[in-house]
Chain A
Amino acid sequence: MKKILILFSHPKFEKSRVNQTLIHHVTGKENVTVHDLYEEYPDFNIDVVAEKELLNTHDVIIWHHPFYWYSCPPLMKQWLDLVLEFNWAYGPKGKALQDKICLNAITTGASKDMYCSKGYNSFTIEQFLRPFEQTAILCGMQYFPPFAVMGTHTLSDEELQEYKNNYGKFITLLQAGLTINDFENTSFINDIPQLKQD
Chain B
Amino acid sequence: MTGGILFEAIIFLAGAIICVSIAKRLGLSSVIGYLFAGVFIGPFVLGFIGNEGDDILHFAEFGVVMMLFLIGLETEPKNFWKMRKAILGMGGIQVGGTLLLSFILFTLLGYEWKVALVISMAVALSSTAIAMQTIKEKGLMNTTFGASSFSILLFQDIIVIFMLGFMPLLVSSDLNITAENHNQQANLLESLPVGLQTLAIIVSVALIIVAGRYLIVPMLRKVSKTGVRELLIAAAFLIVFGISFLMEYVGISPALGAFLGGVVLSNSEFKHELESTLEPFKNLLLGLFFMAVGASINFIIIAKSPFTIGGILLAIVVLKALVLFITGHVFKLKLDQKLLLTFSLAQIGEFAFVLLSFAFGLHLLSQEQMDMMLVITALSMSLTPIIGIVNERFILPKIGTKESIKRPMDHIAKSQKIILVGFGQFGSTVGRFLRSHGVEATILDFDSNRVDFLRKMGFEVYYGDATRLDLLESAGIAEARIIICATNKISVSKAISKIVKEKYPHVEFMIRTKNRFDAYELLNLGHENIYRESLETSLTLAKDVLSKMGFRKYTLNRQVQNFIKYDEDSLRRLATEPERKENYIFKAKKELEQQEKFLNEDFKRGVVDFDNHWDSAHIRKVLNKK
Interface 0/1 of A61-97, CB less than 8 Å to B:
0000010100001010000000000000000000000
A15 at the interface (CB under 8 A from B): yes
Q: Nearest Cβ in chain B — how far from A148, in angstroms?
A: 16
Contact B552 A14 (CB under 8 A): yes
Known: A42-B553, A42-B556. A12 touches B624 (CB 8 A): no
Let me know if A132 is at the binding interface, CB within 8 A. Answer: no
Contact A11 B614 (CB under 8 A): yes
Query: In chain B, residues 577-626, which have Cβ atoms closer than 8 Å to a Cβ of chain A?
Result: 613-617, 619-620, 623-624
Tell me the dominant secondary structure on chain B's binding face. Answer: helix
The answer to whether B554 and A15 touch across the interface, beta carbons within 8 angstroms, is no
Complexed CA–CA distance, A68 and B614 (Å): 9
Whole-angstrom distance between the alpha carbons of A13 and B613 in the complex?
11
Q: In the assembly, what is the distance between CA of A35 and CA of B25, in Å? A: 64
Residue B391 interfacial (CB < 8 Å): no
The interface bits of chain B over 518-559 (1 if a CB of A lies within 8 angstroms of the residue's CB, else 0) are: 000000000000000000000000000000000111111100
Q: Please, how many angstroms separate the alpha-carbon atoms of A13 and B551 in the complex? A: 10
Nearest opposing residue in chain B for A40, CB measure:
B553
In the complex the two chains form, what is the Cα distance from A15 to B619 in whole Å?
13
Chain B residues with Cβ below 8 Å from A66 are: 614
Residues of B within 8 A of A154 (CB): 620, 623-624
Residue pair B552, A39 in contact (C-beta under 8 Å): yes
Inter-chain CA distance A75–B554, complex, in Å, is 11
Is A158's beta carbon under 8 Å from chain B? no
Least CB distance, A42 to chain B, in whole angstroms: 4
**Which of A12, A13, A16 has the most B CB atoms < 10 Å from its CB?**
A12
Q: State whether A12 touches B555 (Cβ < 8 A).
A: yes
Is A170 engaged at the interface, CB distance under 8 Å to the other chain?
no
A153-B623, A154-B623, A154-B624 known; A11-B554 Cβ under 8 A: yes
Which one of B557, B613, B620 contacts A43 once the chains associate, using CB atoms below 8 Å? B557
Q: Chain B residues near A38 (CB, 8 Å)?
A: 552-554
A10, A14, A75 — which one has the most chain B CB atoms within 10 A of its CB? A14
Residue of A nearest to B620 (CB): A153
Q: Is the CB of A39 within 8 A of B553?
A: yes
**A109 interface residue per 8 A CB criterion:** yes
* Interface presence of A152 (CB below 8 A): yes
In contact, A15 and B556 (Cβ under 8 angstroms) = no
Contact (Cβ within 8 A) A15 B614: yes
A109 to B616, CA, bound (A): 8
A78–B614 Cα gap in the complex (Å)?
18
Inter-chain CA distance A187–B283, complex, in Å, is 84
Chain B 232-290 interface residues, beta-carbon cutoff 8 Å to A: none
Docked pose: A68 CA to B615 CA in angstroms:
12
A153 in contact with B619 (CB, 8 Å): yes
Decide: A42 and B557 in contact? CB cutoff 8 A.
yes
Q: Would B623 and A12 count as touching, CB distance under 8 A? A: no
A39 touches B623 (CB 8 A): no
| Cα-based distance from A68 to B552 in the complex (angstroms) | 19
Q: Which residue of A lies closest to B622 (CB)?
A: A153
Q: Is the CB of A152 within 8 A of B616?
A: yes
Closest chain A residue, CB of each to CB of B543: A42
A101-135 residues at the B interface, CB under 8 angstroms: 109
Task: Find chain A residues with CB under 8 A from B624 CB.
Answer: 153-154
How many positions in chain B have a CB within 8 Å of any CB in the partner chain?
16
Binary contact readout B551-569 vs A (1 if CB under 8 angstroms, 0 otherwise): 1111111000000000000
**Once bound together, how far apart are the Cα atoms of A39 and B555, in whole Å?**
9
Across the interface, do B616 and A39 meet the contact criterion of CB distance under 8 Å?
Answer: no
Contact status A42-B554, CB under 8 Å: yes
Max chain A CB contacts within 10 Å: which of B553, B554, B615, B616?
Answer: B554
**CB–CB A12/B613 < 8 A:** yes
Q: Identify the closest chain A residue to B621 (Cβ).
A: A153
Which of B553, B619, B624 has the most CB atoms of chain A within a 10 A radius of its CB?
A: B553
- Residues of A with C-beta under 8 A to B555: 11-12, 14
Give the residue of A39, A152, A153 whose beta carbon is less than 8 angstroms from that of B554.
A39
B556: nearest residue on chain A (CB-CB)?
A: A42
* B619–A109 CB distance below 8 A: yes
CA distance A13 to B554 in the complex (A): 10
Bound together, the chains give a CA A66 to CA B616 distance in angstroms of: 11
Nearest B residue (CB) for A151: B623
Closest CB in chain A relative to B39 CB, distance in Å = 63
Please name the residue on chain B nearest to A107 by beta carbon. Answer: B616
Collect the chain B residues with CB atoms within 8 Å of residue A109's CB: 616, 619
How far apart are the CA atoms of A39 and B617 in the complex, in Å?
21
* B557 neighbours in A (Cβ, 8 Å): 42-43
Q: How far is the CA of A109 from the CA of B622 in the complex (A)?
A: 13
Q: Which residues of B contact A153 (CB under 8 A)?
A: 616, 619-620, 623-624
Closest beta carbon of chain B to A134's beta carbon, Å: 26
In the assembled complex, the CB of A126 is this many whole angstroms from the nearest CB of chain B, namely 23
* Cβ contacts under 8 Å, B617 to chain A: 15
Q: Give Cα A75–Cα B556 distance, bound, in whole angstroms.
A: 16
Nearest CB of chain B from residue A129's CB, rounded to whole Å? 20
Contacts of B556 in A (CB 8 A): 42
Give Cα distance in the complex from A39 to B556, angstroms.
10
Q: CB-CB < 8 A to A152: which residues of B?
A: 616
**Cα A109 to Cα B617 with chains together (Å):** 11
A12 to B619, CA, bound (A): 15
Which of chain A's residues have a CB closer than 8 A to the CB of B552? 12-14, 38-39, 42
Contact A11 B619 (CB under 8 A): no
Which chain A residue has the least Cβ–Cβ distance from B613?
Answer: A12
**Chain A nearest CB: distance from B507 CB in Å?**
32
A39 / chain B contacts, CB cutoff of 8 Å: 552-554
Digitize A170-185: 1 where CB-to-B-CB distance is under 8 Å, 0 elsewhere. 0000000000000000
How far apart sit A43 and B561, CA to CA, in the bound complex (Å)?
11
- When C-beta atoms are compared, the residue in chain B nearest to A39 turns out to be B553
Residues of B within 8 Å of A14, CB to CB, are 551-552, 555
Q: What are the interface flags for A130-159 relative to B under an 8 Å C-beta threshold, 1 for contact and 0 otherwise?
A: 000000000000000000000011100000
| Residues of the A chain whose Cβ atoms lie less than 8 Å from the Cβ of B623 | 153-154
Chain A residue contacts of B613, Cβ below 8 A: 11-12
A11 to B552, alpha carbons, bound, how many Å? Answer: 9
Residue of B nearest to A38 (CB): B554
B616 CB contacts on chain A under 8 angstroms: 15-16, 109, 152-153
Query: Which B residues between 114 and 150 are near A, CB-CB below 8 angstroms?
Result: none
A12 touches B615 (CB 8 A): yes
Instruction: Report the separation of the CA atoms of residues A73 and B615 in the bound assembly, to the nearest whole angstrom.
Output: 13
Shortest beta-carbon distance, B277 to chain A, in Å? Answer: 44
Q: State A190–B553 Cα separation when bound (angstroms).
A: 32
User: Which A residues lie within 8 Å of B620 (CB)?
Assistant: 153-154
Cα distance A10–B614 in the bound complex, in angstroms:
9
| CB of B536, distance to nearest CB on chain A (Å) | 13
Told that A12-B614, A14-B551 touch, could you supply 7 new A-B pairs with CB distance under 8 A? A14-B552, A15-B614, A15-B615, A42-B552, A109-B619, A152-B616, A154-B624
* 4 nearest A-B residue pairs (beta carbon): A12-B614, A42-B553, A42-B554, A15-B615
Which A residues lie at the B interface, using CB under 8 A? 10-16, 38-39, 42-43, 66, 68, 73, 75, 109, 152-154
Could you write out 8 A-B pairs with CB less than 8 Å apart? Answer: A12-B613, A14-B551, A38-B552, A39-B553, A153-B619, A153-B620, A153-B624, A154-B623
